[in-house]
Amino acid sequence: MEEALVVFTPSGRRGRFPVGTPLLQAARALGVDIDSVCGGRGLCGRCQVTLCEGHYDKHGLTSQMDHLSGFSEVEAKFEQRRGALKSGRRLSCSTLLQGDVLIDVPAESQVHRQIVRKRAEVFDIQLDPVLRLYYVEVQPPDMHLPSSDLRRLKEALDFNWRLTDLWSDIRVVQEVQPALRKGDWKVTVAVYNDERITAVWPGFHGQIFGIAADIGSTTIAAHLCNLQSGEVVATAGRMNPQIRYGEDLMSRVSWLMMNPGGDQEMTRAVRQALSDMAFESANEAGIAVTDIIEVTLVGNPIMHHLLLGVSPIELGGAPFALATDESVAGLWATEIDLFIHPNARIYVLPCIAGHVGADTAAVILSETPYLNEEMTLIVDVGTNAEIVLGNRHQLMACSSPTGPAFEGAQISCGQRAANGAIERVRIDPDSLEPRFKVIGCDLWSNEPGFDEAVQKTGITGICGSGIIEIMAEMYLAGILSSDGVIDGSLAEQFPRIEADGRTFRYCFYEGEGRRLSITQNDVRSIQLAKAALYAGVRLLMDKMGVAAVERISLAGAFGSHIDVKYAMILGLIPDCELEAVNSIGNAASTGARIALLNKAARAEIEEVVRKVEKVETAVEPRFQEHFVEAMAIPHKTALYPELRKVVTLPEPRWLSRQEGGGRRRRAKR
């Protein structure tokens, strides 16, 4: 029987099925999260999916339209009842597999929708937006005093508000006459930096809004702000649709190199996501999307380039040259296919260097280490970690390729943060029995009522914060040695330690037909990620000549939800007083909001980033030395005296990798 390969994103689950299999049936067989209320009858429309066309080396397939069955009668009847499906959408319940395909499951078709935990942090921002509203009454035209409508509007702004020498572009000229006549010669004008007329509304228009967005490699967060009050009135978050081309940045650049013109496809995907989020935010806030008139954007260099329609291929190899490291101002929103107010403008914060982008500049603007005396370390933990070290005298920055392991990828039972994911773990050091908490439930697993509370979501896997905690708890309980080996000698006494080929695994959950374990390969993936991050930090400390840091701030969606104590136990960050280590939330989004709401902040960060010294880890000989030492838990040579004041760390143990039968052999390099 002929079979075809189907790969679902963003889950990455894949399998082969007989030709003629409904996509919904294949998805359920693979455990892919697709909603369907009507039981696959084509009535509810919740199981919609999108075919991704093209050749995908990462997945080893070519996906094209004729690899699915044609538009069905069920879909035609659905459109008659409910209206046309979005372009490219299909009902997975009535679409049959005919060949190899890559299928994207949009967020609205998922039962357990991704929780993009990038909220707007509470932050005092001095409100001084670049755009202001002015209400004026304009003299009607007069046959005896001939002058244009625009000129009389400017004269009214000068007379009433002392705004002189204003200029405008053609889009304002197109608005002026209809607005004046509809408003009976009374209009509200938006003026940019007291220099340029940006928009004209008939009558009194009391509010305008702006969007501050952080375009991450994994998630996108957008905050809709009232430009008069500074209030965040709506927040939207979603997975970056580019993730189907690769989990990390370099895999996406590799895909571009293998697929000429693929950068345009990626650009369209992220622009569409941003436009959809603007529309969703406007609906949530109960405003017209045309009331959004200013946007500030941040992102890492590759996201920055793709959004602006610049190929990032040069960033894929040394010397990692940026197309531009300057801020981008005055760009029409329509130039990046963001359809809000027709004359809305975009401001993109400056980048710092090849792999330290506008998102890092936004973090610096948010945390202002350049104003303080304390030696401050800022780590934005993501697929690619950006690291900033310094104070008001000197700032240095670098990036470190941590990969997606902290976000659940490359971990056998890992997943992103969603309801049902384990996020907190504790292990009894005597019995090695675990207890845990899952997202969406406030109870620990050993508390009464837990099973009933999680019945709806189930226990689906373990997310980044849970992975950090279970690794640290395994080390504290003696399950893991200092060199990151699961101690197989414990298997005879403790049933949760199980043989796994030549190595061992720790099973921390079994139920509902699922077994969740941490394997030796999982441990190695986390060791590699945390060692890369720590090595980048140590490299900056060496360059700056400091032996210790006085304050550590963990930024990013992941950094916001990890317990700083466990991050230090694992050796993710250097030693520091625990009271001086804090999570600062999505500081990149906060920096974008500051730039949106305070025009002086734009000039400030443009000046600061020019003074930041960039260290390129790829060419630093000591990076590898620091990396090797940081593979140990918490570290091979660092003593962590501050951590030891609050946590009793085990005595160092160094084990060779063990085989299933208990015999030991030397670990390969």
The structure tokens listed for 600 are 């002086």
pLDDT at 431 over 90: yes
pLDDT of residue 39: 60
Q: Residue 566's domain is classified under what CATH number?
A: 3.30.420
Rounded Cα gap, residues 382 and 556, in angstroms = 7
pLDDT of residue 666: 36
Q: What pLDDT score was predicted for residue 121?
A: 53
Looking at residue 367, its pLDDT comes to 93
**218 and 197: one domain?**
no
Question: Same domain for 264 and 300?
Answer: yes
pLDDT of 663 > 50? The answer is: no
pLDDT of residue 111: 62
Collapsing DSSP states into helix, strand and coil, what is residue 22? strand
Co-location of 396 and 540 in the same domain: yes
pLDDT-derived band at 562 (thresholds 50, 70, 90) equals confident
What pLDDT, in 10s, does the model give residues 356-367? Answer: 999 999 999 999
**CATH code: domain of residue 76:** 3.10.20.30
Look up residue 406 and give its DSSP letter: G
Q: Examine the domain organization and report whether 213 and 344 are in the same domain.
A: yes
Does 297 map to a domain? yes
Which whole number is the average pLDDT over 450-470?
90
199: left (phi over 0), alpha (psi -120 to 50) or beta: beta
Q: How far is Cα 440 from Cα 196, in angstroms, rounded to an integer?
A: 48
Are both 213 and 343 inside the same structural domain?
Answer: yes
DSSP 421: E
pLDDT of residue 500: 93
CATH number of the domain that residue 249 is part of: 3.30.420.480
Q: What is the pLDDT of residues 218-263, one digit of tens each?
A: 889 999 999 988 899 999 988 888 888 877 788 888 888 888 888 8
Share of the chain above pLDDT 90, in %: 66
Residue 580 pLDDT exceeds 50: yes
**Is 116 among the domain residues?**
no
- pLDDT (mean) for 632-642: 95
Q: What's the chain's average pLDDT?
A: 89
Query: DSSP assignment of 170-208, as one string?
Result: HHHHHHHHHHHHHTTTEEEEEEETTTEEEEEEES-----
Question: Domain containing 610: what range?
Answer: 367-402+528-644
How many structural domains compose the chain? 4
Q: Which residues contact 498 (CB under 8 A, 6 or more apart)?
A: 491, 504, 505, 506, 507, 517
- Is residue 571 domain-shared with residue 627, that is, in the same domain? yes
Assess whether 265 and 141 both reside in one domain: no
Indicate whether 260 belongs to any domain: yes
300 and 393 inside one domain? no
- Amino acid identity for residue 261 in this structure: G
Give the percent of the chain with pLDDT over 70. 94
- Beta-bridge partner residues of 314: none
Tens of pLDDT, residues 601-619: 999 999 999 999 999 888 8
On whether both 341 and 213 belong to a single domain, the answer is yes
User: 221 and 170 in one domain?
Assistant: no
Report the pLDDT averaged over residues 492-509.
94
- Please check whether residue 234 lies inside any domain of the structure: yes
Q: Is residue 343 in some structural domain?
A: yes
Bridge partners for 505 per DSSP: 498, 519
How high is the pLDDT of residue 409? Answer: 67
161 versus 296: which is more confidently predicted? 296
Task: Identify the domain boundary among 74, 109, 144.
Answer: 109
pLDDT, greater one: 657 or 430: 430
User: Do 256 and 395 share a domain, yes or no?
Assistant: no
CATH code where residue 140 lies: 3.10.20.880
Whether 570 is in a domain gets the answer yes
Greater model confidence, 404 or 297: 297
Say if 237 falls within a structural domain. Answer: yes
Q: What is the pLDDT of residue 479?
A: 96
**Same domain? 88 vs 237:** no
Close Cβ partners of 141 (under 8 Å, ≥ 6 residues apart): 147, 149, 152
Average pLDDT (297-310) is: 94
Q: Give 393's pLDDT tier (boundaries 50, 70, 90).
A: very high
635 lies in a domain?
yes
Q: What is the pLDDT of residue 164?
A: 93
Residues with Cβ within 8 Å of residue 87, at least 6 apart in sequence: none
Which two structure tokens, joined as six digits, stand for 324?
């531009």
In the predicted model, is pLDDT for residue 659 greater than 80? no
Instruction: Of 166-180, 392-406, 625-639, give the lowest mean pLDDT range.
Output: 392-406
Cα→Cα distances 188→199, 200, 290, 322, 555, Å: 8, 6, 14, 41, 40
